[in-house]
Amino acid sequence: MRIRTAAWRIAIALLTCGAGWPLLAQTPSPALGRFEGETDIGAVSPPGSAHFDAASGSYTLTSAGANTWYHHDDFHFLWRKASGDVALTAQISFPPHAYAHEPNPHRKGILMFRQTLDSGGVYADVAVHGSGLTALQYRRERGANSQDIELNIDAPKAIHLEKRGDTFTLYLSMQGEPLHQVGASISLHLTEPFYVGLAAVSHDVATTDRVQFAQVSVEPLAPLTRDATVLYSTLLTGQTEDQYRRSIVIRSVATFMQSANWAPDGHSIYVHEAGRIQKIPYLTPEAGGPPQPIDTAGLVECSGNFGLSPDGHSLAVSCARTPGGLHQVFVLPAGGGGTPRQVTQGSIPSYFHAWSPDSRTIAFTRGKADRADIFSIPAAGGAEHQLTHDTLNDGPDYTPDGKYIYFDSARTGTLQIWRMRPDGSGAEQITDDAEQNHSPHVSPDGKSVAFLSQSVRVIDALAPTRLRIMSLDDGLIRTIADFPGDRGSFSMYGWGNANHLAYVVYQRLPK
């Protein structure tokens, strides 16, 4: 690691921008503009450099380096120290290259917040690739593999990364329109002071690339009140492998979305958005197409409890026939419409949760928030079977081989993951920790179960939530993602294949 600072700098002044605002270290330096120092993080040969053009206010970083990924980084970093809530903004471009071969498509211009200047440090950044791919990248622990949230878009005109508390949120302007959120937001803690600045990497150890940063600003952020914010919901798909922990933004909207249900054919994801069930085309490269509302054939007040049958022919929904009426489970064609067929009866609300692998049986819950039980019933209609007879039970889902139903239950005092035989016999507890664990779904290959964990009993729409996966061979549990969420973040079957799943995260952002 090589660090250079302006030798003649006069002093470090602390700038206070209003009551309760953060303190930012300021170092007057014509050589480095708004920044204090520059550093080669990891292995960069020949050494990288940064140049500030006072006339244009632009910065040019020159760097080789392998990457900012996996458990260590190799890049050049132009930085300053900061504390509190901060926003970093810039326009990133790649000047014409001077070498004979084609540039690496993954060369990057980066806006970065970083805990330390070592190669395995904790960080959050937004990286614009030479190919135009834009990603919010992060490393939660020193030496851990990096993760990211990717956007398959053309290169944006301007990028903006905000740190508010432990939340980092990406904003973009594609063609000069006002900066707007795009659904990429993560939770990560940095101890004050931390580093904030610009970075470049060629993604090719034998090549030195140039990256230009214009309209650069580093600004403190004023505190937000709840009245000044709006709720955004973002549908993501994520990889589960530790080495390639990538997530892709599929859809982000300023309303409440829940219950991602990946269609059996893999070509669409159904969600419950603003009170309606919608079908989101799943495109290649990964992105979301225009939403297609599902016709619920006159049924009203449909909840987020719905799901496509494994054979892809039918859609089970939980709706009422009239406003304010009792919720029951109905079956429609997969694309909606037709004549709804009522499956459940009774004077207590019933809510769909899962299809059996052969698409012949439906598992549902009946009851209220503080007390519910699990039932099964033939999808074609017939006698129902009560599978549980105690306190709160919810979230039933069949294993791919049909041998078990996984569910969550508070029968031992805390909400934990359980499983039982399809007839309700042989119930056994699967998780037993300090978390409130719920919404289990077994992967298509039957090797692991994904579920949500929260540290509080009352599940709020913006409570800290972890999406975790347990290996069913050895019981080891690992965290896939941390985000503000609730049961609706992963309530329906979100697996697309054995390595990808869909989920919904929430964030409150300025209006």
- What value does the CA radius of gyration of the chain take, rounded to a whole number of Å? 25
Per-residue pLDDT at 459: 56
> In percent, how much of the chain has pLDDT > 90?
84
Cα–Cα distances in Å, from 96 out to 83, 130, 164, 210, 454? 36, 11, 36, 8, 49
Handedness of CA 264, 441, 448, 257 (dihedral sign): positive
pLDDT tens-digit series, residues 297-308:
999 999 999 999
CATH 2.60.120.200 fits 2-220, yes or no: yes
pLDDT tens-digit series, residues 395-436:
999 999 999 999 999 988 889 999 999 999 999 999 999 999
**What is the overall mean pLDDT for the chain?**
92
Picking from 197, 274, 278, 291, the residue whose alpha carbon sits closest to that of residue 232 is 274
pLDDT of residue 175 exceeding 60, the answer is: yes
Per-residue pLDDT at 381: 92
Mean pLDDT of 70-83: 96
Per-residue pLDDT at 460: 60
Mean pLDDT of 114-139: 96
The alpha carbon of residue 5 and the mean position of all alpha carbons in its chain are separated, in whole angstroms, by 37
Picking from 392, 400, 350, the residue whose alpha carbon sits closest to that of residue 375 is 350
CATH superfamily of 227-240+248-510: TolB, C-terminal domain (2.120.10.30)
Poorest-confidence range of 2-16, 64-78, 356-370? 2-16
Q: CA–CA separation, 313 vs 338, rounded Å?
A: 13
The set of residues, in sequence order, having a beta carbon less than 8 Å from that of 351 and lying 6+ positions away, is: 303, 305, 318, 327, 329, 364, 365, 366
Per-residue pLDDT at 45: 97
Find the distance separating the first CA and the last CA of the chain, reported in whole Å: 41
Q: Give the other-Cβ count within 10 Å of 101's Cβ.
A: 9
Per-residue pLDDT at 152: 85
Per-residue pLDDT at 29: 61
pLDDT of residue 13 exceeding 60, the answer is: no
When pLDDT is cut at 50, 70 and 90, the band that residue 12 belongs to is very low
Per-residue pLDDT at 351: 96
Q: CA–CA separation, 441 vs 448, rounded Å?
A: 9
When pLDDT is cut at 50, 70 and 90, the band that residue 203 belongs to is very high
Per-residue pLDDT at 17: 33
Phi, psi at 227, each rounded to 5° = -65, -20
When pLDDT is cut at 50, 70 and 90, the band that residue 244 belongs to is confident
* Residue, of 150 and 23, whose pLDDT is higher: 150
The set of residues, in sequence order, having a beta carbon less than 8 Å from that of 44 and lying 6+ positions away, is: 63, 64, 65, 74, 75, 76
Picking from 354, 325, 363, the residue whose alpha carbon sits closest to that of residue 441 is 354
The alpha carbon of residue 109 and the mean position of all alpha carbons in its chain are separated, in whole angstroms, by 22
E strand map for 74-133: 75-82, 86-93, 108-114, 123-129
pLDDT of residue 5 exceeding 50, the answer is: no
Domain ranges of the chain: 2-220, 227-240+248-510
> Residue with structure tokens 């260590």?
72
Helix (H), strand (E), coil (C) string for 298-364: CCECCCCCCEECCCCCEEEEEEECCCCCCCEEEEEECCECCCCEECCCCCCCEEEEEECCCCCEEEE
pLDDT tens-digit series, residues 434-489:
999 999 999 999 999 999 999 866 656 678 999 999 999 999 999 999 899 999 99
pLDDT of residue 369 exceeding 90, the answer is: no
The set of residues, in sequence order, having a beta carbon less than 8 Å from that of 102 and lying 6+ positions away, is: none
Mean pLDDT of 216-244: 91
> In percent, how much of the chain has pLDDT > 70?
93
Q: CA–CA separation, 46 vs 84, rounded Å?
A: 35
When pLDDT is cut at 50, 70 and 90, the band that residue 241 belongs to is confident
Mean pLDDT of 134-157: 94
150's enclosing H/E stretch is strand 147-151
The set of residues, in sequence order, having a beta carbon less than 8 Å from that of 492 and lying 6+ positions away, is: 259, 260, 261, 270, 304, 305, 306, 307
Mean pLDDT of 102-119: 97
pLDDT of residue 139 exceeding 90, the answer is: yes
Q: CA–CA separation, 399 vs 483, rounded Å?
A: 26
Per-residue pLDDT at 245: 81
* Residue 17 · residue 55 · CB < 8 Å: no
Mean pLDDT of 325-342: 97
Per-residue pLDDT at 30: 73
pLDDT tens-digit series, residues 22-71:
445 454 467 899 999 999 999 999 999 999 999 999 999 999 999 999 99
